[in-house]
Structure 1
């Protein structure tokens, strides 16, 4: 299942050349993952109250094109792989049919002490 999030490029997203600053693509995909979590019914505040939070462990990213001011973009998010300890998400930022940015993001769970823990069983079931 692919979750899509529409976004628009604002002036604050661009650099001196008038294109989206490279680090902002990471913000765009973070928003995509956050909205995906809500869409499938996960409550991150409830997880935190239970002592577990998500953390990004790895991002492998390719910048394939440039977005500019006022572009309408789509952030696509889908689960690529789930194990007992990690969730790998494939994410793309598109303008129309053109893929501008592609990333594979590995997410893990951590406890309050910052140590890795297994993904809770209910979360593994939600994402399968």
Structure 2
């Protein structure tokens, strides 16, 4: 997924404020799911919710005003009721790695109680994990 950096994304130093990367990665995860036939809204309506429970992020280099970034997302690990995605934010112009993160999401009910990943989602994630090999 591509993200253009606007003035509102930057801090007083003229670089992207660190918490904005979390938003970019959230959008990229939603688009990743959409690309693989999963609608976050439809899953939510079916009582399948994926809150973030852990983020491990390494900020390597800054993005600046008007940069075009690419956020890459792939399944990194898969458990019965959670999964982890590996995400990278790179500057498109030179493919420079700016941020890399591992984001763990749990599968919960609307009452925020842990639940197993539905079989069709688990099978999809297992296939994608295998492809990442």
TM-score by length of 1: 0.93
Determine the C-alpha separation between the residues in 2 that align with 1:101 and 1:11. 19
Determine the C-alpha separation between the residues in 2 that align with 1:45 and 1:34. 10
CA-to-aligned-CA distance 1:101-121 (integer Å, 9 cap, x gap):
010000111111111111111
Structure 2 partner of 1:45: 41
Q: CA RMSD in A?
A: 0.9
User: Which stretches of structure 1, 4 residues or longer, exceed 4 Å deviation after superposition?
Assistant: none
Determine the C-alpha separation between the residues in 1 that align with 2:68 and 2:59. 17
In the alignment, does 2:85 pair up with 1:89? yes
In the alignment, does 2:65 pair up with 1:63? no
Structure 1 partner of 2:30: 34
Q: Which runs of 5+ in 1 are unaligned?
A: none
Specify which structure has the higher proportion of strand: 1
Q: Which runs of 5+ in 2 are unaligned?
A: 128-133
CA-to-aligned-CA distance 1:9-62 (integer Å, 9 cap, x gap):
011100011100000010111111010010000122222222121111100000
TM-score by length of 2: 0.89
Specify which structure has the higher proportion of helix: 2
Structure 1 partner of 2:97: 99
**Mean CA deviation greater in 24-33 or 38-47:** 38-47
